[in-house]
């Protein structure tokens, strides 16, 4: 892994040197409308948040995690674990709370390429938060254009940076080391930008050391005034340890300890993840055509407390959409094809070493095909309606190559129809909207093959969950107050909810848990817009309840009822800047029976920066971050329904991070 990482960084450094030697003259590219959403109606009839990280914010925010980069988006909860072993839990209106690792219930994209597999599992390893410039979040059920697991949709786009060369290094508490480099150029109608980064951390907990190497290239060419081609390639290499979760007693005695089982079995993972794709945007006589083709390769070694997992994944797909402007009616039609193949092996874990006893040898294949159509009609200059539907068919196949305990090969088929209906009304600066949306979510391949018995094959008792949602809200600008406003109310009904259960050995399986109800409000304000001094605030309230099993009125675990984010930021005209960031959340239940609860918390961070410190053609950007200056001892992430009460993943205490960036213009 280390040798590959060194070669990766050297390769991108050589690429940057080559690009810098080219003609770097800047030209104006032909104007085209390129949107991350797949249909114009999603901008008007659905709860949608858009956050663009300005360069001044990028300079002061190190971008070590998505929790830091995306906090402040209403309706979004990101549970940062403080280590790299399992990734961040991302929830939208309570959807996806069951994820023990990876992300569930959310469709995610990076520069237009899906991070979500056809089975509904999202892996965000290749996302480097430091290079995210634009974030767009659809907060309600959105299967109309995105299909399986669309309890919400998150579009991430790389930072658009005209800087020829940017280098940055940062160090900090708990053994943090973070270095990055990016470079790019434009030549005629062609533009290329490349980056590479390395982050390593000893961690605040025992057995949580880890490192990430990431790199990426984005290129764009405009062959004609009505055609654009976008290319993207991203890679991530990780080698991390996992400390596991703690009981309440362990948390009270020493929140920095690790679960002894994880230490004894050397639990963690090492992986290589590569993905790339090409997107065509063309303005044709029939309308605006968008076509994307992509491929993904992932190799994983994953020692766990109960086994040693090896995974070799190939995935890819093709997406096309044609959007026609027919006067008062916009019509969008498309087709979405996705494929996944996993070669999965399970060996015994022999005291932290890969054993020789083969416990599982199977190939899992998932294919999905979907067609959809949507109509957006403008009934008056201010009022409009949208309606659409999508038909998905998914096929899960498993071939058992280990026949000593019988052939457990199997097939599961799922079909879903996802209608949507919305309306909007525009004033000069505000958009009022209402929307009825749907989402379905099949079990992922990992969830299907984990049965209570621990045997191979698919869990035949596990089915998909269905979500129906209603929302209404308003967003826009209150010009007289110089205030940006985003307010929404929502109500979701979920049937056959997928609920995690955990065994004594740490193995997790799932069952369908009846009906749930999610009601809530979301409020975000940005004031004053376009000022050196201002405030960003986001508040979420949610009532997330079981309606039958395991008990009517019990609260869904892993989701806070109240969540507040507040940022006060200021800057001087000569480049000095500061941010004060406050986060507060109420306690969360740890299990379905609501017998154990984490405490609520309030965390305060301070950011200091100096931007645009010019030395001829070079700019310096020193910065510092004082994290958790109140030294709050708190839990941000829970392992829901963990066996033996091992629910808690404690967050980091007080620390200081500081660094300097150098930019060559």
Report the pLDDT value the prediction gives residue 5, as an integer from 0 to 100: 42
Per-residue pLDDT, 452: 67
Q: Is 19 helix (H, G, I), strand (E, B) or coil?
A: helix
d(CA 128, CA 106): 18
Cis peptide before 375 (omega within 30 of 0): no
User: How confident is the model at residue 482, as a pLDDT?
Assistant: 86
Cα gap 587→648, rounded to integer Å: 12
Pick from 246-250, 497-501, 608-612: least confident: 497-501
Which of 471, 462, 422 has its CA nearest to residue 442?
A: 462
Average pLDDT over residues 134-151: 88
Residue 272's pLDDT is 97
Higher pLDDT residue, 161 or 13? 161
Average pLDDT of span 586-590: 95
pLDDT higher than 80, residue 26: no
Which one is predicted more confidently, 586 or 463?
586
d(CA 53, CA 58): 6
Judged against a pLDDT cut of 80, whether residue 627 lies above it is answered with: yes
Each residue's pLDDT tens digit, 90-121? 999 998 877 767 788 899 999 999 999 999 88
pLDDT for 196 equals: 96
pLDDT confidence band for 456 (50 / 70 / 90): low
Integer Cα distance of 497 and 517 in angstroms: 10
User: pLDDT tens digits, residue range 340-399?
Assistant: 999 999 999 999 999 999 998 999 999 999 999 999 888 888 999 999 999 999 999 999
> Taking a C-beta distance cutoff of 8 angstroms, is the pair 204, 256 a contact?
yes
List of residues 6+ apart from 256 with CB closer than 8 A: 204, 205, 206, 650
Q: Find all residues with CB under 8 Å of 474, minimum gap 6, and list them.
A: 430, 431, 432, 433, 485, 486, 487
How far is residue 172's CA from residue 656's CA, in Å, rounded to a whole number?
6
**pLDDT, tens digit (0-9, with 9 covering 90-100), for 322-345:** 999 887 888 999 999 999 999 999
Residue 608: the pLDDT is 92
As beta bridge partners, residue 517 has: 493, 545
How confident is the model over 640-655, as a mean pLDDT? Answer: 91
Comparing 24 with 364, the larger pLDDT belongs to: 364
**Residue 480, SS3 per DSSP:** helix
Q: What is the pLDDT of residue 13?
A: 39
pLDDT at 227 over 80: yes
- 562 domain-assigned: yes
Q: Which helix (H) or strand (E) holds 58?
A: helix 55-60
**Residue 18 clears pLDDT 50, i.e. is over it:** no
How does residue 490 score in pLDDT terms, banded at 50, 70 and 90?
very high
Residue 339 lies in a domain: yes
In whole numbers, what is the pLDDT of the chain averaged over residues? 86
Q: Given this model, what pLDDT does residue 39 score?
A: 47
Instruction: Assess if residue 386 is contained within a domain.
Output: yes
Inside any domain, residue 135: yes
pLDDT at 463 exceeding the cut of 60? yes
C-alpha distances (whole Å) from 407 to each of 473, 509, 552 are 53, 21, 40
Distances in whole angstroms, Cα of residue 512 to Cα of each of 381, 440, 442, 459, 499: 46, 13, 11, 11, 6
Residue 390: beta bridge partners?
372, 418
d(CA 66, CA 553): 32
Kindly state whether residue 31 falls inside one of the protein's structural domains. no
Which two tokens mark 365? Answer: 């294949």
Q: What are the structure tokens assigned to 172, written together? A: 């900090």
Report yes or no on 403 lying in a domain. Answer: yes
Which residue is listed with tokens 């967003």?
475
Please report the sign of the dihedral spanned by the C-alpha atoms of residue 50, residue 56, residue 61, residue 65: positive
Peptide linkage before 528 cis (omega within 30 of 0): yes
User: Rg of the chain's alpha carbons, rounded to an integer?
Assistant: 24
Domain containing 292 equals: 2-26+36-664
Domain-located, residue 616:
yes
Residue 200, domain CATH: 2.40.170.20
Q: How many domains does the chain have?
A: 1
Please give the residue that has the higher pLDDT: either 514 or 475. Answer: 475
Percentage of the chain with pLDDT > 70? 90
**Tokens representing residue 497 in the block:** 């909810």
In the chain, pLDDT over 90 holds for what percent of residues? 58
């Amino acid at each position: 892994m280390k040798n590959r990482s060194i070669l990766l960084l050297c390769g991108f450094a050589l690429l940057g040197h080559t690009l810098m030697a080219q003609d770097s003259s800047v030209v104006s590219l032909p104007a085209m409308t390129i949107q991350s959403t797949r249909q114009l109606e999603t901008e008007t009839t659905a709860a949608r948040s858009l956050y663009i990280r300005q360069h001044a914010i990028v300079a002061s925010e190190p971008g070590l995690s998505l929790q830091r980069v995306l906090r402040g988006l209403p309706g979004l909860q990101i549970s940062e674990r403080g280590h790299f072993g399992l990734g961040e839990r991302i929830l939208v209106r309570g959807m996806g709370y069951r994820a023990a690792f990876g992300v569930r219930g959310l469709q995610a994209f990076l520069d237009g390429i899906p991070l979500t597999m056809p089975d509904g599992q999202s892996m965000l390893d290749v996302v480097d938060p430091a290079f995210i410039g634009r974030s767009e979040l659809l907060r309600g059920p959105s299967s109309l254009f995105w299909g399986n697991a669309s309890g919400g949709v998150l579009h991430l786009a790389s930072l658009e940076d005209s800087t020829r060369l940017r280098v940055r290094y940062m160090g900090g508490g708990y053994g943090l080391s973070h270095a990055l480099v990016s470079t790019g150029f434009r030549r005629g109608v062609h533009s290329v930008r490349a980056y590479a980064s390395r982050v390593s951390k000893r961690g605040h907990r025992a057995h949580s050391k880890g490192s990430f190497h990431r790199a990426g290239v984005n290129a764009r060419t405009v062959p004609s005034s009505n055609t654009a081609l976008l290319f993207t390639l991203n890679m991530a290499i990780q080698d991390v340890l996992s400390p596991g979760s703690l009981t309440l007693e362990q948390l009270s005695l020493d929140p920095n300890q690790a679960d002894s089982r994880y230490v004894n079995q050397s639990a963690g993972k090492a992986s290589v993840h590569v993905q790339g794709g090409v997107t065509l945007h063309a303005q044709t006589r029939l309308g605006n055509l968008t076509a994307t083709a992509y491929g993904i390769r992932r190799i994983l070694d994953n020692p766990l407390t109960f086994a040693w997992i090896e995974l070799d994944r190939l995935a890819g797909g093709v997406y096309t959409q044609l959007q026609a402007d027919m006067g008062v009616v916009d019509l969008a039609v498309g087709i979405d094809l996705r494929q996944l193949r996993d070669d999965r092996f399970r060996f015994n874990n022999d005291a932290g070493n890969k054993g020789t006893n083969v416990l599982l040898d199977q190939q899992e294949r998932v294919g999905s095909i979907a067609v959809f159509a949507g109509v957006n009609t403008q009934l008056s200059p201010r009022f409009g309606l949208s309606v659409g539907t999508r038909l998905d068919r998914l096929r899960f196949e498993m071939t058992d190559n280990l026949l000593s305990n019988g052939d457990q090969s199997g097939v599961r088929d799922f079909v879903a129809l996802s209608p949507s209906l919305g309306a909007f009304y525009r004033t000069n600066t505000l958009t009022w909207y209402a929307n009825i949306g749907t989402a379905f979510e099949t079990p992922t391949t990992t969830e299907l093959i984990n049965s209570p018995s621990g045997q191979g094959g698919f869990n035949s008792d596990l089915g998909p969950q269905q979500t129906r949602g209603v929302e209404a809200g308003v967003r826009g600008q209150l010009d007289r107050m110089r205030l940006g406003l985003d307010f929404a109310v929502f109500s979701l009904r979920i049937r056959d909810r997928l609920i995690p259960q955990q065994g004594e050995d740490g193995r997790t399986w799932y069952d369908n848990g009846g009906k749930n109800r999610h009601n809530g409000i979301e409020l975000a304000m940005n004031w004053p817009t376009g000022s050196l001094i201002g405030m960003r605030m986001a508040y979420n309230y949610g009532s997330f309840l079981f309606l039958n099993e395991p008990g009517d009125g019990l609260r869904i675990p892993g989701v806070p009822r109240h969540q507040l984010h507040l940022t006060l930021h200021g800057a001087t005209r000569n480049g000095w800047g500061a941010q004060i960031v406050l986060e507060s959340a109420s306690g969360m239940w740890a299990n379905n029976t609501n017998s154990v609860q984490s405490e609520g918390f309030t965390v305060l961070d301070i950011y200091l920066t100096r931007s645009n410190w010019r030395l001829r053609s070079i700019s310096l950007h020193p910065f510092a971050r004082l994290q958790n200056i109140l030294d709050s001892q708190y839990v941000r992430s829970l392992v829901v329904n963990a066996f033996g009460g091992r629910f808690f993943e404690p967050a980091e205490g007080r620390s200081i991070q500081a660094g300097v960036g150098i930019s060559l213009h």
